[in-house]
Amino acid sequence: MYLGKITGNIIVGQSGGPTAAINASLAGVYKAGKDAGAEKVFGMLHGIQGLLEGKLIDLSEKITCDLDLELLKRTPAAYLGSCRYKLPDYNKDTKDYEKLFQILKEQEISAFFYIGGNDSMDSIRKLSEYGELLKSPIRFIGIPKTIDNDLEITDHTPGYGSAAKFIAASTKEIIRDSLVYNQKNLTIIEIMGRHAGWLTAAAALAKGNDCEGADRIYLPEKDFDKDAFLKDITALQKEKKSLVIAVSEGIHLADGRFVCELSDKDFYVDEFGHTMLTGAGAYLSALVKREIGCKTRAIELNTLQRCASHIASLTDIEEAFEVGKRGVIAAAAGVTGVMAVIKRVSDSPYLCTYETHNIKEIANMEKKVPLSWIKEEEDGMSEEFLRYAKPLIMGEVMPVMVNGLPMHLEYVSER
């Protein structure tokens, strides 16, 4: 595909929670940018927050050969560092915008790429709109990233496939381990997901000829009923001794309270007003132990879901690289205020194409799991979900092994 021509320099940053595939998108932007003729590809250290402090590097000094590029694609977390920095409304406060555009002008930036999720796409929306007010020639492009898979328009989001693969594999292994002892026991796996249950739904992929799968899957798309939950666990334990259930960290009661908030612990709130959710599994484990009396265990997959590059999906890594490349193609064509998106052509054989879409129809939106994909009895997900998710976890990315461990591209010293 013809990349077009990039003049001057370009800059790329990463924001929000990292994934096993976010650096593959960084590699895609870098490679396509250089191929399109960009003189320099700058990287923001810690996203927009770092850029406001003048922290940026020339990526050519860090990516010096093809091996570096391949290592970058296999390196977890955000190579450039991340942030959760909320740009103010430019109609009320232009200080950040004036400083950012001055920095971009000084560095002769012609295109700005931001790899992230919903909040990052809101930043691209604001920057592109402010740029239009100034009649700035700089193009602002969003590159999708989030394990939550909750960005609108795109069929799925890079980062989700690898996280789903890790969750499905871990669920399968936990189920196997739970069968060791001949006694009643309940294992609760707490999986990330505030309002959208895509990650927890991935536990359903563990089911197969050699695994019964999770006994119950609870997503935040549906209200959680404690009494019904206890009644269900009691009934299930009459049928089998060992139970494994998967719950989203964001499951909530009908009155809107998160289950994790029923505990007496304090919660951290970030720049965007998001409460850090943790403890739903521990609360339910204690509840069952107290009310039913069986052995219980709560397992939080936590950050392992997003950093397990050793079991990354090849499909995910390849698509992450391609959306980075698609963003550069859009910038070279003079487009601004868009996000690169994935469009599914077919499930079998699995085939996708790449294009861009207006950021205003993506930012501040949230894609949830369709209710029709959630089984009423809550023991799994529908065939529609399985057809959707299975292709995303396919293929393996073999790490470059050194001394028995995966090798990563060395992080920037300034971080």
Q: Which domains does the chain have, with CATH numbers?
A: 9-158+311-364 (3.40.50.450), 161-306 (3.40.50.460)
- Taking 80 as the threshold, does the pLDDT of residue 281 lie above it? yes
For residues 224-235, give the mean pLDDT: 95
Q: What number of other Cβ atoms are within 10 A of residue 84's Cβ?
A: 16
pTM score of the predicted model:
0.95
Which active-site residues does the annotation give? Answer: 148
Instruction: Determine if residue 131 is labeled as part of a ligand binding site.
Output: no
pLDDT value, residue 154: 98
Grade residue 411 by pLDDT with cuts at 50, 70 and 90: confident
Instruction: Determine if residue 193 is labeled as part of a ligand binding site.
Output: yes
For residues 188-207, give the mean pLDDT: 97
Instruction: Determine if residue 271 is labeled as part of a ligand binding site.
Output: no
CA distances 89 to 49, 94, 252, 413, Å, are 16, 8, 31, 33
Identify which of 110, 125, 114, 109 has the alpha carbon closest to the alpha carbon of residue 337.
125
Grade residue 5 by pLDDT with cuts at 50, 70 and 90: very high
Residue 35 is given by DSSP the state H
Grade residue 273 by pLDDT with cuts at 50, 70 and 90: low
Q: C-alpha angle with apex 330: 328 to 334, nearest 5 degrees?
A: 110
pLDDT value, residue 276: 72
Instruction: Determine if residue 415 is labeled as part of a ligand binding site.
Output: no
Instruction: Determine if residue 148 is labeled as part of a ligand binding site.
Output: yes
pLDDT value, residue 415: 52
pLDDT value, residue 45: 97
- Amino acid 288 reads V
- Taking 60 as the threshold, does the pLDDT of residue 11 lie above it? yes
Instruction: Determine if residue 192 is labeled as part of a ligand binding site.
Output: yes
Q: Is residue 102 within a helix (H) or strand (E), and if so which, with residue range?
A: helix 95-106
- Taking 60 as the threshold, does the pLDDT of residue 270 lie above it? no
pLDDT value, residue 278: 86
pLDDT value, residue 263: 79
- Taking 90 as the threshold, does the pLDDT of residue 389 lie above it? yes
For residues 313-333, give the mean pLDDT: 98
- Taking 60 as the threshold, does the pLDDT of residue 272 lie above it? no
Grade residue 123 by pLDDT with cuts at 50, 70 and 90: very high
**Cα atoms found within 13 Å of the Cα of residue 248, Cβ hemisphere only:** 27
Q: For 59-103, how does the pLDDT look when each residue is reduced to its tens digit (9 = 90+)?
A: 999 999 999 999 999 999 999 999 999 999 999 999 999 999 999
State whether the Cα torsion 355-359-364-370 is positive or negative: negative
- Taking 80 as the threshold, does the pLDDT of residue 315 lie above it? yes
